[in-house]
Amino acid sequence: MKPRHDYRRSAIPLGPTARLLLGLGSLAGLAAFIWPLIIPAAPTAVQHASDAPYVFALLVPLVLGLILAQVADGGLDAKALALLGVLAAVNALARPLGAGVNGLETVSFLLIVAGRVFGPGFGFALGCLSLFASALLTAGVGPWLPFQMLAFGWIGLFAGLLPDRCFGRPLRGWPETAMLVTYGIISAYLFGALMNLWFWPFVTGPSLGDASLAYIPGGQLLENLHRFVVYSLVTSTALWDTGRALTDTIGLIILGPPVLGMLRRSARRAQFDPVVEFDPVVK
């Protein structure tokens, strides 16, 4: 008998039910962000005041259903649920240290490394639960909350979908760190764009200071997209999003390798992921 290491993508793989829930929920969440580009929206003092409750009503059953589906598939057990709760609490307590001020974001780092180790379903649930717990702690509950939960959930989700091999060899060490840093930078800018898209269609031209950057209700899709891209570049990309990208980069370079190792040891000791299989030696 000879040992064969099993480099599986994640310690907690997704079953078919969880994949279906994540796919449908993500499509519905994306529609909640982009519908003003397709259906005319009127500027209002409270952005998404009418549809935010429906997004939240969709998101809570989605997260609960995702967790229950992974429990039913045998991926999540009591130990994994406890770890999910601990990491969500850590992120909820860490977020007030930055909360996006001047681009300082303390949440993304843990979502990326946890999603990388434990998989897309765990990463998505961690992102949503972290933001929900943080909002309760800081009285930050508002129509923006379900959209923040979705955006952070997607950061953890896609971190869990990153490739685990390159040219047939497992990605570990500095190549893995380089990949995660690249992902952290890209996700920082995409997160900023999503959160701009959350409120931009509902802000009037005078409030923006330049009517040429304002959303046109019922306007052409490409025209509104052009205005949105210019607005994002002018208002947030250089400072807020770049600061978030730098925060992710520094955290992943300095803390990424030791935290990844710690989480992988926790997964092995909790027996989430059997790392050695045996094949018969054929002579």
Banded model confidence at residue 99, pLDDT cuts 50, 70, 90: low
Model confidence pLDDT, tens digit, residues 117-137:
999 999 999 999 999 998 888
Residue 131: inside a domain: yes
| In-domain check, residue 282 | no
CA-to-CA separations, 72 to 16, 66, 68, 266, in angstroms, rounded: 11, 10, 6, 22
Range of the domain at 37: 2-273
CB 25 within 8 A of CB 69: no
Q: Please check whether residue 279 lies inside any domain of the structure.
A: no
Residue 189 inside a domain? The answer is: yes
- Kindly report the length of the chain: 283
| 278 found inside a domain | no
Share of the chain above pLDDT 70, in %: 83
Q: Which pLDDT belongs to residue 7?
A: 42
User: Which position has the token pair 């909640």?
Assistant: 32
Strands (E), the chain: 2-5, 165-166, 169-170, 276-279
Identify whether 283 is part of a domain.
no
Mean pLDDT (the chain) is 82
The answer to whether 156 touches 131, Cβ cutoff 8 Å, is: no
Token pair for residue 20? 């279906």
For the chain, the straight-line distance linking the first and the last C-alpha, in angstroms and rounded, comes to 11
Tell me, what's the pLDDT at 157? 94
Domain count, the chain: 1
